[in-house]
Amino acid sequence: MVERFSRQNLHRQRTFRVLLEGLSRPGTVLTLPDLPSGPNEGEEFYFLLVAETLLDHEVRYSLPADETETPLGRRVKDICRQGPVPPEEADFLLAPRGTTGGGLSRAKRGLPEYPDQSATVLYGVRRIGDRPKENPSFRLEGPGIAAFVSFPSLDGFDWTELELLLEINRGFPLGVDAFFVDPGGKVLGLPRSTRPVGKEA
């Protein structure tokens, strides 16, 4: 039992390091670590892996209403030992189907004296592609980017949410951090310090 817990804890530490790298290298597609024993099964396996790494009983989260009684919703409730709250009260906005359903516009953006009191949004998408999104609005710059990076293509994602996210983050250091994860274990981060090319924060 102790050995199993230690393996799980080590795996979460490795996952957390990948997530930190994702925020330090915005728009770069990274791969989450596999579990050392057994296959990684289920479409939501990696989404839950990231959620379990980021969440604990001290944070509050929001979840679309139609997800609260799903296996994923019940698992997140067990992790946090409480049910979901409205987006404006949440530390984490969970969007396993690629959209917050409008919740992003209400997400906490921090305070001038405490910008770290902002929310983080976690998107589950069907696929993170290898090719960039063919839209110049999604060429990004900022800390961790040498010149600029083109945001990768995403299947199963509401692209209006990325437009809103980038607009929200023009108020940096206030804003919202984001992660995107797909069923194949690909993940990328988008910190609130990132902005579209040519647009000042």
List the domain range (segments joined by +) for residue 137. Answer: 2-196
pLDDT at 20 over 80: yes
pLDDT at 32 over 70: yes
Task: Name the percent of the chain lying above pLDDT 70.
Answer: 86
- Residue 50 is predicted with a pLDDT of 96
pLDDT at 87 over 90: yes
Residue 132's pLDDT band, with cuts at 50, 70 and 90, is low
pLDDT at 199 over 60: no
Q: Which residue has the tokens 């906005």?
A: 93
In a domain, 139, yes or no: yes
Q: 141 forms bridges with which residues in the sheet? A: 195
**Mean pLDDT calculated for residue range 160-184:** 94
Using the Cα atoms of residue 135, residue 192, residue 44 and residue 99 in order, give the sign of their dihedral. Answer: negative
The DSSP bridge pattern shows strands 149-150 and 139-141 to be antiparallel
Q: 3-state SS of 115-164?
A: EEEECEEEEECCEEEEEECCCHHHEEECCCCCCCEECEEEECCCHHHHHH
Average pLDDT, the chain: 87
**Mean pLDDT calculated for residue range 119-133:** 88
In a domain, 101, yes or no: yes
Q: Which helix (H) or strand (E) holds 179?
A: strand 177-181
The domain that holds 76 is classified in CATH as: 3.40.50.11310
Task: Report the number of distinct structural domains present in the chain.
Answer: 1
pLDDT at 7 over 80: no
In a domain, 71, yes or no: yes
In a domain, 120, yes or no: yes
pLDDT at 92 over 80: yes
In a domain, 147, yes or no: yes
In a domain, 176, yes or no: yes
- Residue 171 tokens read as 């108020």
- Residue 181 is predicted with a pLDDT of 97
Residue 197's pLDDT band, with cuts at 50, 70 and 90, is low
pTM: 0.89
In a domain, 201, yes or no: no
Write the DSSP string, 80-126: HTS----GGG-SEEEETTS--TTGGGGS-EEETTEEEEE-EEEEE-S
